[in-house]
Each structure stands twice: as C-alpha cells, then as structure tokens.
Amino acid sequence: MSTLTKFTGYDLFGNVKGEDYGSLTGKDSADYKKAQVAVNAIKVYPAQLFETQDLSKVVAISGASISYGQFVETTKRAIEEVYK
C-alpha cells in the first residue's frame, strides 16, 4: 500500500485508535469489539481508495461510520491541499 493512502484514526482525546481503543470496559466487552470494528476499518478504507482511485467508491463499513466520515473528510482536505 502506498504511504499516500495511510490513515490514522483518533479518539475524542487525540489518542490513536489502536489495539486498546474501546478497552476501558475490558477486551471481552461489546464496547471493545465494536470499537475494534472502527480500528480495522481504518486499515480498509485507504486500501479501498488505493484500489479504486475514487473516493466515492470507498464503501462504509457497518459499525465504523464515524471513522468513515473522518476518512472521507481527511481525504477531501488532502486533495484540496494538493490543488491549492
């Protein structure tokens, strides 16, 4: 994957969404499992963009809609910066 398609997700406190994201209630909790859907989506969205070369063809993953929105917004801003 190209480094141009790398995306890092952050929680409300500015922490990187990673292996411990959502683990406050334990790694066996439903909250943790749901949070990890977003962590995994953060890896999928850039790969979809790289493969399709079209932001409108990046498909949102159920349970990771906030991460999807962040990805789309960040990508749009990056594209705008390139063409300034």
Task: Supply the pLDDT for residue 7.
Answer: 87
Cβ distance 45 to 1 under 8 Å?
A: no
Q: Is the pLDDT of residue 2 over 60?
A: no
* DSSP annotation of 49: H
Query: What pLDDT digit, counting tens, does each position of 6-63 carry?
Result: 788 888 899 999 999 999 999 999 999 999 999 999 999 999 999 999 999 999 999 9
> Domain segments of the chain: what residues?
3-82
Q: Is the pLDDT of residue 1 over 60?
A: no
Tell me the C-alpha distance between 67 and 81, whole Å. 21
Least confident of 2-6, 37-41, 72-76: 2-6
